[in-house]
Amino acid sequence: MNFIIRLLITAISAFLLSKILSGVHFEDFWSTIIFAFVLGILNVFVRPILSILSLPITILTLGLFSLVINAVIILLADSLMDSLTVANFWWALLFSILLSLVTSAFSMIFESDE
């Protein structure tokens, strides 16, 4: 049940952000649900590999390079999905930062009741 709630929180956050950011576009709300699922799969399988490979530069930048990894994950999701369009790397970076913040805020609100 917790997985479904997180999936919906991510989907709603991505949908709202796509309405605000002109460089990110989803075809419809169902696309954001698929995006949340794809993002979850990429975070489980691809993120650890990228994090290990980029560990030296992440240490040198005091963890800021993890923001770049987030943007790369968003761009990977864009390349896997036809219903998602991200204009360029900078939009992916901004979208990933805002998605992390909004998802965290929604998670704190909805998971504090449990």
57-85 confidence digits (pLDDT tens) = 999 999 999 999 999 999 999 999 999 99
Q: What pLDDT sits at residue 69?
A: 97
Band of pLDDT at residue 41, cut at 50, 70 and 90: very high
95, 101 contact by CB (below 8 A): no
What's the mean pLDDT when you consider all of the chain?
Answer: 94
Give the structural domain span for 76.
2-103
Backbone angles phi, psi at 24, to 5 degrees: -125, 130
Quick check: is 113 in a domain? no
Q: Which pLDDT belongs to residue 3?
A: 86
Q: What would the mean pLDDT of 27-39 be, rounded to a whole number? A: 96
Does the structure show a pLDDT above 80 at 113? no
Is position 109 within any domain?
A: no
pTM for the structure as a whole: 0.91
The rounded distance, in Å, linking the Cα atoms of 91 and 111 is 29
The tally of domains found in the chain comes to 1
Does 108 fall in a domain? Answer: no
The answer to whether position 93 is within a domain reads yes
Judge whether 114 lies within some domain: no
70 in any annotated domain: yes
